């Protein structure tokens, strides 16, 4: 269940920060609407790595569509395996 708090709870920011855990951010609302999120750095780093991987995969898919696909044995030999 998401941890959602009003932004006014930041008056006691150390309490709010203690509730932030890996894979468990704290979401802050302003006037009843979502406004901010507090994440652990590890979560942000994992998200960045995931986005980078997805971009590489998309690049590979585009390359395969434009330049044709190669089979598994060709791929292995091209990287020296």
One digit per residue, the tens of pLDDT, for the chain of length 81 reads: 899 999 999 999 999 999 999 999 999 999 999 999 999 999 999 999 999 999 999 998 998 889 888 888 888 888 888
Domains and CATH numbers, the chain: 3-39 (3.40.1620.10), 42-78 (no CATH)
How many Å from the N-terminal Cα to the C-terminal Cα in the chain? 46
**What span, in angstroms and rounded, lies between the C-alpha atoms of 20 and 17?**
5
**What span, in angstroms and rounded, lies between the C-alpha atoms of 46 and 20?**
16
């Amino acid at each position: 269940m998401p941890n959602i708090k009003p932004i006014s709870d930041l008056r006691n920011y150390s309490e709010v920060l203690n509730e932030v855990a890996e894979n468990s951010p704290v979401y802050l609302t302003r006037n009843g609407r979502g406004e901010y999120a507090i994440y652990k750095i590890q979560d942000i780093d994992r998200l960045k790595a995931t986005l980078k991987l997805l971009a590489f995969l998309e690049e590979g898919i585009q390359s395969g569509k434009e330049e044709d696909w190669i089979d598994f044995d060709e791929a292995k030999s091209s990287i020296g395996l």
